């Protein structure tokens, strides 16, 4: 079973589009002016495919033929349009040339919406080509461009219009609005080929942020790619027709950091915008050598001989495809994986969109509660017809307009919503340290970029409050811990000057048993109403069962130690500090959540090793190594650790301080190695880090 199928929770979600009609509340008219009443309405658009008993499109239906209910409440159909898409083969193309439609369009722009009351793309099939430069190597890009050109040249039908978008350098570019002009599309793709030829196989990370101002939030997770997809489908959402997003990528792997909330938000945005994902793995059919090809250094260690390294490479590759599979399955599309003819994937998306009806109604439920609303559509006169449509949608939600008395209740309700909110960027790190034979201390550190709070300061506020609410659930979906706290931030004086450069950090700790857990946290800026959702799974391992390797805790990387009274960084400063292993002599080690370090500062490394079977603590040897491009570039001198805590676990704290001034800026793999000479056991830990000037 594919891993991401476990989080493919939107398979039955809707394919629809929202239109907000500006009307809200009655206003007091001027003495001589007629009264004006404004009412808020929400137009819900559904795409419905109707086939007769022979599998052919059923034509000629009107609004009176459709029966629509929302949560069991009948709705009045206000819009009913039939989009008839002609099927044309390659032979027909020679007889029916495509007419030039958009040669004068500025290609670096937004998707152009329809003029009021008009439908520019009636009876047209909308395909959007999306090239993710950040996930594809140069060879993958060339395969993707070649497939796109082949489709445009020989497989584009008169019913098709194509838009071309790219994600590169942290931003979305609309290279071509929707058009059926083959020459125009070929010209755009040729320009992109020239751009790609100037790229290295490993493009430089410029730190350009997508949707947020701090590069630190975008380096080691897939949130940036998912946020880019979310923005893209919102661009496409200005058109009410059904759209297929052909997503060329070199895989997209959920790495367990900050991704699940953003994945769900991206899927929900696609469903609202009536967009189906058709991911195409541009790597094609791959057949890697067990130890990797010549572009990567051969790994060393025991894993090289036991098969662990080869199994790890295969698992990473499969996970990179699993996310593509989830994007397609949860939006009604289909992933195209492990094929070399990538243009067949585009044809797959093309054939998936046949003739359909656009059915719209004004929902009688005006509550912006964010809850799921189930839709049922049927035909009065054709009971044997087969209808294909999405079965519901998540209602819109507003947090910024609540009264003070509603905020507390609404924040708790927001935690229950399946549709996450990602207006406020949150990063988090979850660690574990063994306390005794049964329990583990789990420190949770959340970080919010100070630049996010600059918005509140610009609004004229002198203070703001960050509300935190969350819960930790075990694998049986039972809540084992709750999070509820707030941070009062001063927005004037010296503290305000530091906001743009520093971060607001909230930390807390929990005592848990070994097992699999899910943590979900919401943070809200009480002044601007911006809310961010963080959700991830984590594992607290049972180190008592570790027999082959030396049992160690999770490893904390940091660049700063602060006094517990420093409120700018730490909110939960007086909570659980007695058992918190990151607190020593009144100083707290602040984890670098996204592992970005300045060369001008030292890197602090902290972990614990456990020797419960030893009668007395036995000396250990530990050292730190930095790798770049598979080659070792730095290794610290081995450090002998002989002091242990006075407990049954023979806990041995291991602390490093590493100078980074001699290393060049860039990406590295940081490895911590711990050896027990007497027990002849070792423990290794690796994680990516980023060094900046």
| 591-646 per-position pLDDT tens digit | 888 888 988 889 999 999 998 888 888 899 999 999 988 889 999 999 999 888 88
Tally of domains within the chain: 2
Instruction: Write the CATH number for 439.
Output: 2.60.40.10
Residue-number span of the structural domain to which 180 is assigned: 3-394
SS percent in the chain: helix, strand, coil, step 5: 20, 35, 45
Q: What are the backbone angles phi and psi of residue 433, rounded to the nearest 5°?
A: -140, 135
77 in any annotated domain: yes
* Residues 228 and 86 occupy one common structural domain: yes
* Residues 91 and 197 occupy one common structural domain: yes
Inform me whether the pLDDT recorded for 83 exceeds 80.
yes
Confidence of residue 367 (pLDDT cuts 50, 70, 90): confident
DSSP-derived pairing of the beta strands 16-21 and 372-379: unpaired
Q: Look up tokens 């009065």; give the residue.
A: 380
398-456 residue pLDDT tens:
655 565 656 666 666 667 666 677 777 788 889 999 999 899 999 998 888 776 665 55
Contacts of 21 (CB under 8 A, 6+ apart): 40, 41, 42, 43, 362
* Residues 334 and 446 occupy one common structural domain: no
Q: Give CA angle at 554 (574, 315), nearest 5°.
A: 140
* Residues 411 and 482 occupy one common structural domain: yes
148 in any annotated domain: yes
Contacts of 299 (CB under 8 A, 6+ apart): 291, 292, 309
Inform me whether the pLDDT recorded for 45 exceeds 90.
no
Inform me whether the pLDDT recorded for 33 exceeds 70.
no
Q: Which of 126-130, 214-218, 537-541, 563-567 has the lowest average pLDDT?
A: 214-218
- Answer positive or negative: Cα dihedral of 274, 523, 581, 627: positive
pTM of the model: 0.65
Inform me whether the pLDDT recorded for 457 exceeds 80.
no
222 in any annotated domain: yes
- Residues of the chain with pLDDT > 70: what percent? 73
* Residues 476 and 341 occupy one common structural domain: no
Q: Which of 82-96, 158-172, 488-502, 631-645 has the lowest average pLDDT?
A: 82-96
570 in any annotated domain: no
Token readout for 344 is 């067949």
Token readout for 172 is 């979305």
Query: Among residues 547, 565, 580, which one ends one of the domains?
Result: 547
Average pLDDT, the chain: 78
27 vs 254, more confident: 254
CA 43 centroid distance within chain: 28
User: In 297-434, where do the E strands start and end?
Assistant: 356-362, 372-379, 386-388, 392-394, 426-430, 433-434
484 in any annotated domain: yes
* Residues 539 and 473 occupy one common structural domain: yes
**DSSP code of residue 397:** B
* Residues 19 and 55 occupy one common structural domain: yes
Confidence of residue 566 (pLDDT cuts 50, 70, 90): low
Mean pLDDT of 648-661: 90
Query: Among residues 518, 547, 576, which one ends one of the domains?
Result: 547
Confidence of residue 7 (pLDDT cuts 50, 70, 90): very low
Inform me whether the pLDDT recorded for 206 exceeds 50.
no
Distance between CA 416 and CA 393 in Å, rounded? 16
Distance between CA 506 and CA 432 in Å, rounded? 17
pLDDT at position 194 is 84
* Residues 390 and 480 occupy one common structural domain: no
230 vs 257, more confident: 230
Inform me whether the pLDDT recorded for 82 exceeds 80.
yes
* Residues, the chain: 693
558 in any annotated domain: no
Query: Among residues 547, 564, 598, which one ends one of the domains?
Result: 547
């Amino acid at each position: 079973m594919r891993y991401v199928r476990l989080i493919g929770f939107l398979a039955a979600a809707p394919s629809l589009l929202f239109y907000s009609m500006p009307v809200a509340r009655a206003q007091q008219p001027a003495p001589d002016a007629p009264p004006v009443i404004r009412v808020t309405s929400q137009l819900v658009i559904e795409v419905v495919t109707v086939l007769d008993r022979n599998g052919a499109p059923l034509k000629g239906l009107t609004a009176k033929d459709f029966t629509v209910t929302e949560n069991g409440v009948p709705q009045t159909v206000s819009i009913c349009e039939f989009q008839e898409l002609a099927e044309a083969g390659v032979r027909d193309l020679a007889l029916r040339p495509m007419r030039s439609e958009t040669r004068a369009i500025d290609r670096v722009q937004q998707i152009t919406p329809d003029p009021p009351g008009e439908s520019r793309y009636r009876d047209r099939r909308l395909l959007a080509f999306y090239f993710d430069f950040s996930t594809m190597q140069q060879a993958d890009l060339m395969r993707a461009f070649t497939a796109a050109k082949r489709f445009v040249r020989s497989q584009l039908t008169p019913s098709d219009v194509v838009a071309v978008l790219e994600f590169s350098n942290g931003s979305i570019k609309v290279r071509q609005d929707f058009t059926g002009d083959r020459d125009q599309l070929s010209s755009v793709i040729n320009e992109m080929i020239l751009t790609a030829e100037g790229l290295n196989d490993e493009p430089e990370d410029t730190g350009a942020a997508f949707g947020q101002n701090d590069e630190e939030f975008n380096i080691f997770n897939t949130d940036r790619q998912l946020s880019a997809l979310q923005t893209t489908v919102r661009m496409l959402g200005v058109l009410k027709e059904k759209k297929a997003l052909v997503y060329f990528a070199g895989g997209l792997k959920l790495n367990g950091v900050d991704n699940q909330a953003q994945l769900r938000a991206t899927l929900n945005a696609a469903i609202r915008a009536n967009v189906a994902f058709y991911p195409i793995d541009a790597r094609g059919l791959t057949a890697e050598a067990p130890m990797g090809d010549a572009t990567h250094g051969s790994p060393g260690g025991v894993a090289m001989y036991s098969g662990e390294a080869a199994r790890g490479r295969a698992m990473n590759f499969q996970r990179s495809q699993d996310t593509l599979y989830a994007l397609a399955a949860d939006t009604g599309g289909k992933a195209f994986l492990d094929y070399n003819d990538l243009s067949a994937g585009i044809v797959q998306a093309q054939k998936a969109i046949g003739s359909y009806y656009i059915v719209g109604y004004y929902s009688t439920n005006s509550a912006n509660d964010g809850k799921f609303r189930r839709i049922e559509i049927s035909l009065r006169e054709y009971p044997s017809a087969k209808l294909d449509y999405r079965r519901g949608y998540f209602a819109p939600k507003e947090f910024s307009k609540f009264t003070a008395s509603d905020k507390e209740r609404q924040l708790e309700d927001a935690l229950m919503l399946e549709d996450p909110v990602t207006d406020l960027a949150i990063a988090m790190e979850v660690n574990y340290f063994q306390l005794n034979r049964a329990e583990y201390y789990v420190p949770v550190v959340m970080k919010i970029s100070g630049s996010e709070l600059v918005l509140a300061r610009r609004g004229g506020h002198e203070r703001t409050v960050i509300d935190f609410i969350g819960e930790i659930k075990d694998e049986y979906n039972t809540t084992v811990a709750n999070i509820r706290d707030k941070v009062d931030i001063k927005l004037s004086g010296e503290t305000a000057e530091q906001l743009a450069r520093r971060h607001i950090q909230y930390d807390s700790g929990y005592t848990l048993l070994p097992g699999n857990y899910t943590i979900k946290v919401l943070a809200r800026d009480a002044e601007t109403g911006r809310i961010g959702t963080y959700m991830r799974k984590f594992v607290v391992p049972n180190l008592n069962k570790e027999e082959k390797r030396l049992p160690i805790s999770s490893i904390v990387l940091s660049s700063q130690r602060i006094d517990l009274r420093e409120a700018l960084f730490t909110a939960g400063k007086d909570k659980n500090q007695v058992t918190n292993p990151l607190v020593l002599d009144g100083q707290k080690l602040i984890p670098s959540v996204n592992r970005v370090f300045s060369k001008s500062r030292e890197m602090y490394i902290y972990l614990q090793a456990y020797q419960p079977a030893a009668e007395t603590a036995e000396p250990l040897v530990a050292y730190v190594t930095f790798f770049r491009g598979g080659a070792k570039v730095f290794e610290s001198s081995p450090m002998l650790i002989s002091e242990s805590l006075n407990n049954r676990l023979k806990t041995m704290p291991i602390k490093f301080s590493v100078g980074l001034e001699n290393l060049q800026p860039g990406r590295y793999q940081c490895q911590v190695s711990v050896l027990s000479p007497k027990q002849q056991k070792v423990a290794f830990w690796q994680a990516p880090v980023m060094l900046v000037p």
